[in-house]
Structure 1
């Protein structure tokens, strides 16, 4: 089990680092920018329905908030799954 987890961890590290190392001048943008560009190509006079209340000072800060949002969501989902699994084990041992 430990070896399997170690191999999975190393695979994640490799998948993360390979694009950064081999694609040095690449721009890793999100889907939002691509969607906005496509919409303006299709409908030149398109205007968004609303604008952001606050714009992060840089792309790095925006990425940080995106990652934090994902981490918080993963923690909530992980806690729920762990709670349910523990609850099921407890029910099985009590009967």
Structure 2
């Protein structure tokens, strides 16, 4: 029971600490940092491709990124569950 409470407190701490750790109040992803570094190294660089869809705001972009990750996770765990269930069904044969 004590171990469970400690782990729960750590999880809650990991969820709350980022709200208090501030980097100037601005959130930027690694894509933005990579673009900045490319422009420093090669200022005349032109991208090979243009995005098919440019979200209206960074919030929508974050939502779409999270949705993509969630769908990918759901597919992976569905497949794992399917094969585990199939293995358990055949274990009794």
Q: TM-score, normalised by structure 2?
A: 0.81
User: Aligned pairs, how many?
Assistant: 92
SS state of the match for residue 38, structure 1? helix
List gaps (5 residues or longer) in structure 1: none
Q: CA 1:27/1:9 → structure 2, altered by over 3 Å: closer, same or farther?
A: farther
Give deviations 1:30-50, integer Å, cap 9, x for gaps. Answer: 111111111111111001012
* Runs of at least 5 residues in structure 2 that lack an aligned partner in the other structure: none
Q: For residues 29 and 8 of structure 1, do their structure 2 counterparts lie closer, same or farther at Cα, with a shift above 3 Å needed? A: farther
What does 1:62-73 correspond to in 2, within 5 Å?
62-73=61-72
- TM-score normalised according to structure 1 size: 0.79
For 1:80 and 1:15, locate their aligned partners in 2 and report how far apart those are by CA, in whole Å.
29
* CA RMSD, Structure 1 to Structure 2 (Å): 2.5
Q: Shift of residue 68 of structure 1?
A: 0.2
Superimposed CA distance per residue, residues 15-63 of structure 1 (whole angstroms, 9 cap, x where no aligned partner): 2331123327432211111111111111110010121132111100000
